[in-house]
């Protein structure tokens, strides 16, 4: 019998966080238990493969994208503290008919390209204040990331883990066999230095000069300007790459590249970059557009807005920004 406290016990001990926020987190956490089961069932449940339709991101939807989106959407629509939601998989926002409370943005299953080959994927969520009165509109979702009242992700990997920030600090929970989230990482902190970078190297010829210079410096190893060897990781699942950085440090980069010059980056601001940035900053790391500009200060202009991302160990992010 474990002596580890569960999510409810941890949140009860967080006096600074609003009780209604905790209710929303509890609803999302429970929905992610259901998601972990359908993800784990894979081919047995017939949930792998393409859904045969394109989403608002102009990406081929997987069956699990839709299944997991519906699980979260249904759970949030039934939550009294939720006034509206926005999803990577939904073109428009959806309202619940309730006023006040909170807005939730989410990527129900990040890392879709990994689903059918059994590599870790994840759910990312962000909780924002809803307007005090009235039915929320899309404009009400366009708040800078510093306005988030909570954020988190679940990584469906060798362990299923929930990583959460409420009023302050970052805590990690491991899903137990009985369906409880057990507090296994009470105070996650990202080391300021690292020797590990995460970027999709196949895009190297398309990067801007500062990114190429930074990566070239890492690749030059101990005989180069950095005076040390670097390791590289790229899971192609932001949740998995960010979780590794939360556990042992590192720098993650999805920069602008010349393949589609009008696209500032691949990752979405409201339900990927902002929640991950709140977690990374609260864990002592940095999360920026370019090594300098904090993502949490960006004023969103569109619901599915994309941004470049450079996040992770603070001293390494600073070095990217130094050019
Ligand atoms: P690429 C997954 O589709 C995702 O949005 C992130 O989770 C991940 O970091 C990135 O795209 C991977 O992109 O171009 O390497 O496949």
- Does the CB atom of residue 200 touch ligand 1 within 6 A? yes
Contacts of 254 (CB under 8 A, 6+ apart): 199, 200, 238, 265, 266, 267, 308, 309
User: What pLDDT is stored for residue 172 in this prediction?
Assistant: 98
Q: What is the dihedral of CA 179, 182, 187, 189, to 10 degrees?
A: -50
Question: What pLDDT is recorded for position 46?
Answer: 85
Atom index in ligand 1 nearest the CA of residue 202 equals 15
C-alpha 232 to ligand 1 mean position (Å): 16
Calpha distance 286→250 (Å, rounded): 11
Kindly report, residue by residue over 226-241, the tens digit of the pLDDT: 999 999 999 999 999 9
Alpha-carbon gap, residue 73 to 90, rounded angstroms: 10
pLDDT of residue 307: 98
pLDDT (0 to 100) of residue 47? 87
pLDDT at 25: 98
Residues β-bridged to residue 103: 84, 128
Q: H or E stretch including 169?
A: none
**Which residues lie below 8 Å from residue 320, measured CB to CB, with a gap of 6+?**
210, 211, 214, 251, 253, 288, 290, 291, 310
Whole-model pTM: value is 0.97
φ, ψ of residue 134 in degrees (nearest 5): 95, 160
pLDDT at 2: 67
Question: Could you tell me if the CB of 238 is within 6 A of ligand 1?
Answer: yes
DSSP 162: E
The pLDDT of residue 286 = 98
CATH of 196-322, one of 3.40.190.80, 3.40.190.10, 2.140.10.10, 3.40.50.1970: 3.40.190.80
What's the pLDDT at 1? 61
Q: Is 194 touching ligand 1 by the criterion CB < 6 Å?
A: no
pLDDT for 208 equals 95
Question: What is the pLDDT, as a whole number, of residue 112?
Answer: 80
Nearest CA among 269, 264, 262 for reference residue 308: 264
Under DSSP, the state recorded for 168 is S
Contact 313, 246 (CB under 8 A): no
Asked if residue 244 has its Cβ within 6 Å of ligand 1, the reply is no
Distance 194 CA to ligand 1 centre (A): 22
pLDDT 10s digit of each residue in the chain, 323 long?
Answer: 668 999 999 999 988 889 999 999 999 999 999 999 999 998 898 888 888 888 877 788 889 999 999 999 999 999 999 999 999 999 999 999 999 999 999 999 999 889 999 999 999 999 999 999 999 999 999 999 999 999 999 999 999 999 999 999 999 999 999 999 999 999 999 999 999 999 999 999 999 999 999 999 999 999 999 999 999 999 999 999 999 999 999 999 999 999 999 999 999 999 999 999 999 999 999 999 999 999 999 999 999 999 999 999 999 999 999 98
Give domain limits for the chain.
7-185, 196-322
The answer to whether residues 280 and 311 touch, using CB atoms and an 8 Å cutoff, is yes
Rounded distance, CA 261 to CA 143, Å? 26
CA 60/CA 69 separation, integer angstroms: 15
Cβ 128 under 6 angstroms from ligand 1: no
User: Minimal CA–CA distance to 59: which of 93, 107, 104, 106?
Assistant: 107
User: Whole-angstrom Cα distance, residue 165 to residue 11?
Assistant: 10
What is the Cα 135 distance to its own chain's centre? 27
Nearest-10 Cα torsion for 25, 30, 34, 40: 70
User: What CATH number labels 7-185?
Assistant: 3.30.540.10
Burial pattern 210-221, b for ≥16 Cβ within 10 A else e, equals: ebeebbebbeee
């Amino acid at each position: 019998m474990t002596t580890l406290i569960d999510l409810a016990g941890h949140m009860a001990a967080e006096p600074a966080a609003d009780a209604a926020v905790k209710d929303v987190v509890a609803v999302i956490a429970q929905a992610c238990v259901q998601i972990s089961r359908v993800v784990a069932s894979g081919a047995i449940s017939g949930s792998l493969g393409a859904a045969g339709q394109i989403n608002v991101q102009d990406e081929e939807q997987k069956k699990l994208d839709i299944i997991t989106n519906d699980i979260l959407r249904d759970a949030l629509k039934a939550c009294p503290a939720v006034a509206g939601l926005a999803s990577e998989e939904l073109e428009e926002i959806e309202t619940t008919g309730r006023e006040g409370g909170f807005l939730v943005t989410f990527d129900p299953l990040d890392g879709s390209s990994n689903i059918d080959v059994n590599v870790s994927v994840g759910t990312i969520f962000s909780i924002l204040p809803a307007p005090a009165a009235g039915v929320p509109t899309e404009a009400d979702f366009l708040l800078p990331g510093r306005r988030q009242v909570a954020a988190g992700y679940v990584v469906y990997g060798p362990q299923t883990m929930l990583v959460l920030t409420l009023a302050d600090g970052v805590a990690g929970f491991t899903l137990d066999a009985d369906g409880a989230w057990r507090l296994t990482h009470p105070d996650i902190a990202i080391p300021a230095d690292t020797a590990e970078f995460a970027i999709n190297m196949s895009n190297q010829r398309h990067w801007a000069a500062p990114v190429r210079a930074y990566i070239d410096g890492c690749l030059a190893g101990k005989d180069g300007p950095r005076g040390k060897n670097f390791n590289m990781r790229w899971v192609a699942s932001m949740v998995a790459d960010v979780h590794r950085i939360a556990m042992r440090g590192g720098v993650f980069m999805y920069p602008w590249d010349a393949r589609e010059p009008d696209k500032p980056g691949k990752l979405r601001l409201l339900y990927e970059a902002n929640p991950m940035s709140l977690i990374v900053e609260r864990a002592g790391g940095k999360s920026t557009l370019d090594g300098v500009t904090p993502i949490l200060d960006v004023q969103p202009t569109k619901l599915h807005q994309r941004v470049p991302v450079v996040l992770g160990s603070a001293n390494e992010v600073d070095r990217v920004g130094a050019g």
